[in-house]
Amino acid sequence: MKKCLNCGALLNDDEIFCLECGFNEFESLKNDEKNDLAAESDTTSNSNSEEENVIAIKELKLILLDDNENPLTTWTLKKLPSYTIGRISSKGSVDIDLTEYKNSQYVSRRHGKFFRKNNKWYYVDLNSTHGSELFTKNKREKLVPMEEYELNNKDFLVLSGKVKFEILL
């Protein structure tokens, strides 16, 4: 038995990627950890479902807001371990394409990346030209490129000072 390093799901040794999140890096469980899991399942004999050992993957809803802070569109991030945001160009593609939206010309082609680690969501600015800002309950922060920032429910992320998103977890 092994454990997904991205979402913590428990998997059989012969599985090559996580069925919950698609990640392909695992931690092998030691025999004593396997025994502990077996003991836990014995004490909860009311249900023998493997699903109980799987940690639910936290999804992130990314809501693009207009100038009046009304929702324009929503992306639900859940399946992949990471998502890039920016604009599609001849130099490559992104998972969240902002090309057709207002002020997208200020957003870098590969502006930033959302990723899941230990079932928490993070954002990193990928050295974008005009930067990213994170508005939390307590502060407004200009993000340092290539540093990870944990995202929380009801945070706001602003790309290039022009494109605003609400984060829902």
Amino acid letter, residue 9: A
The answer for residues whose C-beta is within 8 angstroms of residue 155's C-beta and 6 or more apart is: 134, 135, 136, 166, 167
- Going 159 to 161 to 166 to 167, the CA torsion angle's sign is positive
For the chain, which domains are there? 2-53 (no CATH), 60-168 (2.60.200.20)
Beta pairing class for 71-77 and 82-86: unpaired
pLDDT per residue as tens, the chain (169 positions): 777 777 777 777 777 767 666 667 777 776 555 445 544 444 444 444 444 445 677 899 999 999 999 999 999 998 888 999 999 988 788 999 999 999 999 999 999 999 999 889 999 999 999 999 999 988 999 999 999 999 999 999 999 999 999 999 9
* pTM of the predicted structure, to 2 decimals: 0.68
